[in-house]
Amino acid sequence: MYSFSDPCWASINRGILICDECCSVHRSLGRHISQVRHLKHTPWPPTLLQMVETLYNNGANSIWEHSLLDPASVMSGRRKASPQDKVHPNKAEFIRAKYQMLAFVHRLPCREDDSVTAKDLSKQLHSSVRTGNLETCLRLLSLGAQANFFHPEKGNTPLHVAAKAGQTLQAELLAVYGADPGTQDSNGKTPVDYARQGGHHELAERLVEIQYELTDRLAFYLCGRKPEHKNGQHFVIPQMADSLDLSELAKAAKKKLQSLSNHLFEELAMDVYDEVDRRETDAVWLATQNHSTLVTETTVVPFLPVNPEYSSTRNQGRQKLARFNAHEFATLVIDILSDAKRRQQGNPLAGSKDNVELILKSISNQHSSESQDNDQPDYDSVASDEDTDLETNAAKSNRQKSLDSDLSDGPVTAQEYMQVKNALVASEVKIQQLMKVNINLSDELRIMQKKIGRSAFVTSSSSLPSFPSTLSWSRDESTRRASKLEKQSSVSESDYDNPTAPLELEETGASRKGRQRSVIWQGEGSIPEDTDTAPSSSLPSTEDVIRKTEQITKNIQELLRAAQENKHDSYIPCSERIHVAVTEMAALFPKKPKSELVRTSLRLLTSSAYRLQSECKKTLPVETCPTTDIQLVTQQVIQCAYDIAKAAKQLVTITTKENNN
């Protein structure tokens, strides 16, 4: 916005290119204010990118700075932020005034009836879209023209007019501002029909893609592919492996989602779409910043910003989506895709008075009764954050279902579906936050050490890995993850120091290609059953557990430094040292612990160590693994390190509590 030495981001709905500094602010505004996308590291429909570039080259920025271009603005003291100004607060305040408050947009003369003004603007838009003058249409939209305006005399919408005239870029702009390609004119024809009748077949195909943009984006997020609309395939829906054997509670939870009214279901789907965009944009942001000074707490977007046009209840539900881990979020996305297809095909269910907030609560309130010290993120000021336990058990059962390769549409392989974007979803903000020291965790350990009378550990305990409050939404997260792994394992648990190596360790370059985003590690960390060993309630001393945890932490910090410095050849030796430390820690515990929490924490600890080794092996020389994307591998490596540290922390907490009782 101020100096474009390297404008590598775009704000789609504002028609501008922006630099990293400005993007750090735009991301925090929310998609309803600015829809940001990276120019190189995010897939673009060619015509959408062309639309943004055309607007930028034709001075779209002047629309948002109209009054600042008036010489009188200098006299009034108003000015643009300069490149030399600090991002916070100078540039941030200017960006919010410019795009959120629309403080500098041209204002029309006041009228007694504002609806007449909006109707006049919409009629102008309806007429203008037949031309190629994009900036005129953007100006009209900025003043309040409605993209879905239905012209009473013409009997159609601006998108019908643009489609008939073959104005592809105008159609892109209208769609960005909410125009619906499925809207029918007075004769029952859609913009797609208009485009085909005018011989604009590429535009017609693009309009079909826009019509399915929400479900396409969700499908691509999960399995890296989109349906082939040209061939009449409009949905790609991954199914759950045990979908034919769901418990009654799980079926009830799914039916609750299905019975939402179409209006509420659409709201939920749009909110999930926004959360997908937030997660993917954050992943690109972190990967491209490379731990520069821009990656700070002030640039973190831990949950969806408040949209003042939505109710407080809806805003609260939108923010709760950030609590979902990769598998939980994938489950919700799959259910939405499945129900979207059902609704489009006209298979109605009985209506329900349940709102979207209850659906989200029933999915996100896992283990609420087990964790009384559950950390909560500092949400923006919206509705009350009081949770209910309604449908908790059903949601828990639903989330523990393992994913498989059964796809209802198209020849999607098992490997393609197992590519759920773990690196782009689960690591998110954790990349840079794992490098800090969590004061809360240090304090907890100090309290533990005082209880056992070992003050000598106070100094060294501060070296444990950090997990800021925005990541500590549920302290029993390790239990949840481990429970899922336990469900996926085909045998019972014992011998935690001898887990079976995952199949991924045997894969080579070609077979790895489709698994770099895998989120499910079926069978990893599975434990052969030892029928001769009785469950044991004995636990090792807290001192021994802390000592082994410190060794694990030291090795993890070494791995994180290697990641920060791009020393990828250090990944494998670091992972081997971590695995040795994990094995030694697991050996402290009984082969068959009586405590469920101990078993699940140990399972997460050992399975994550094997996952880490597997991911690190992907950094072998390029000639060995030519398909490796080192950025995605690095994010998965950090995710594994995070899981190991969380499991170790859980074991320290458990042993301290039990030994003090």
What confidence tens digit (pLDDT) does each residue in 557-592 have?
Answer: 888 888 888 888 888 989 999 999 999 999 998 888
Give backbone dihedrals phi and psi of 238, rounded to 5 degrees, phi first.
-65, 140
Mean pLDDT value across residues 472-494: 35
656 vs 451, more confident: 656
DSSP 242-284: TTTS--HHHHHHHHHHHTS-HHHHHHHHHHHHHHHHHHHHHHH
Distance spanning both ends of the chain, measured CA to CA:
61
Would the pTM count as exceeding 0.85? Answer: no
Q: Which long-range contacts (CB under 8 A, 24 or more apart) does 282-286 make?
A: 282/27, 282/428, 282/429, 283/423, 283/424, 283/425, 283/427, 283/428, 283/635, 284/38, 284/41, 284/42, 285/23, 285/24, 285/27, 285/38, 286/427, 286/428, 286/429, 286/431, 286/432, 286/635
Across-strand partners of 238?
Answer: 407
Give backbone dihedrals phi and psi of 5, rounded to 5 degrees, phi first.
-65, -30
Q: How many residues does the chain have?
A: 661
Task: Please tell me the predicted confidence (pLDDT) of residue 447.
Answer: 56
- In angstroms, the Cα distances linking 93 to 96, 97, 214, 484, 497 are 5, 6, 32, 44, 55
363 vs 60, more confident: 60
Mean pLDDT value across residues 373-384: 46
Task: Using the Cα atoms of residue 174, residue 180, residue 182 and residue 183 in order, give the sign of their dihedral.
Answer: negative
How far apart CA 338 and CA 418 sit, in angstroms, is 18
- Amino acid identity, residue 629? D
Nearest Cα neighbor of 96 from 57, 135, 64, 144 is 64
Mean pLDDT value across residues 41-54: 96
Mean pLDDT value across residues 373-388: 44
How far apart CA 290 and CA 118 sit, in angstroms, is 45
Cα 587 from chain centroid (whole Å): 36
Helices (H), 67-156: 71-76, 92-95, 114-128, 134-143
Cα 466 from chain centroid (whole Å): 21
Residues 168-207 pLDDT 10s: 999 999 999 999 999 999 999 999 999 999 999 999 999 9
Cα 135 from chain centroid (whole Å): 32
Q: Hey, what are 303's tokens?
A: 């949950």
Nearest Cα neighbor of 615 from 642, 635, 594 is 635
Task: Please tell me the predicted confidence (pLDDT) of residue 402.
Answer: 35
Residue 13 has pLDDT above 90, yes or no: yes
Angle value at C-alpha 264, between 261 and 268, nearest 5 degrees: 135
Q: Strand 16-18: give its sheet, edge to edge.
A: 16-18, 9-11, 36-38
How far apart CA 501 and CA 392 sit, in angstroms, is 33
Mean pLDDT value across residues 156-170: 98
In three state form, how does the secondary structure of 141-210 look? HHHCCCCCCCCCCCCCCHHHHHHHHCCHHHHHHHHHCCCCCCCCCCCCCCHHHHHHHCCCHHHHHHHHHH
Nearest Cα neighbor of 416 from 234, 222, 617 is 222
Most confident range, picked from 175-179, 396-400, 624-628: 175-179
Across-strand partners of 593?
Answer: 536
Q: Hey, what are 332's tokens?
A: 């919700």
Most confident range, picked from 187-201, 499-513, 598-612: 187-201
Q: What is the mean pLDDT of the chain?
A: 74
Across-strand partners of 536?
Answer: 593
Residues 199-244 pLDDT 10s: 999 999 999 999 999 999 999 998 888 999 999 999 998 765 544 4
Q: Which residue has 């992972």 as its token pair? A: 575
Judged by DSSP in three states, 114 sits in helix
Strand bridging mode 403-407 / 36-38 = unpaired
Exposed, middle or buried, 415 (CB in 10 Å: 0-12/13-18/19+)? middle
Mean pLDDT value across residues 347-364: 53
- Amino acid identity, residue 316? Q
245 vs 370, more confident: 245
Task: Please tell me the predicted confidence (pLDDT) of residue 82.
Answer: 78
213-223 and 201-211 helices cross at what angle (nearest 10)? 70
Number of CB atoms found within 10 A of residue 605's CB: 28
- Amino acid identity, residue 456? A
Nearest Cα neighbor of 606 from 476, 467, 528, 500 is 500
How far apart CA 86 and CA 284 sit, in angstroms, is 23
How far apart CA 557 and CA 324 sit, in angstroms, is 26
How far apart CA 108 and CA 181 sit, in angstroms, is 30
Judged by DSSP in three states, 626 sits in coil
Judged by DSSP in three states, 440 sits in helix
How many CA atoms within 13 Å lie on the side-chain side of 132? 6
Exposed, middle or buried, 202 (CB in 10 Å: 0-12/13-18/19+)? exposed
- The H or E element that residue 17 is part of is strand 16-18
Residue 496 has pLDDT above 50, yes or no: no
DSSP 492-544: ----TTSPPPPGGGG--HHHHGGGTT----TTTT-----TTPPPB-----HHH
Confidence band for 429, pLDDT divided at 50, 70 and 90: very low
Nearest Cα neighbor of 603 from 495, 453, 468 is 495
Nearest Cα neighbor of 401 from 352, 451, 363, 369 is 363
Q: Hey, what are 554's tokens?
A: 């030291």
Task: Please tell me the predicted confidence (pLDDT) of residue 77.
Answer: 54
How far apart CA 204 and CA 533 sit, in angstroms, is 67
Cα 472 from chain centroid (whole Å): 16
Residues 65-115 pLDDT 10s: 998 887 665 555 567 887 778 888 889 999 999 999 999 998 877 665 566
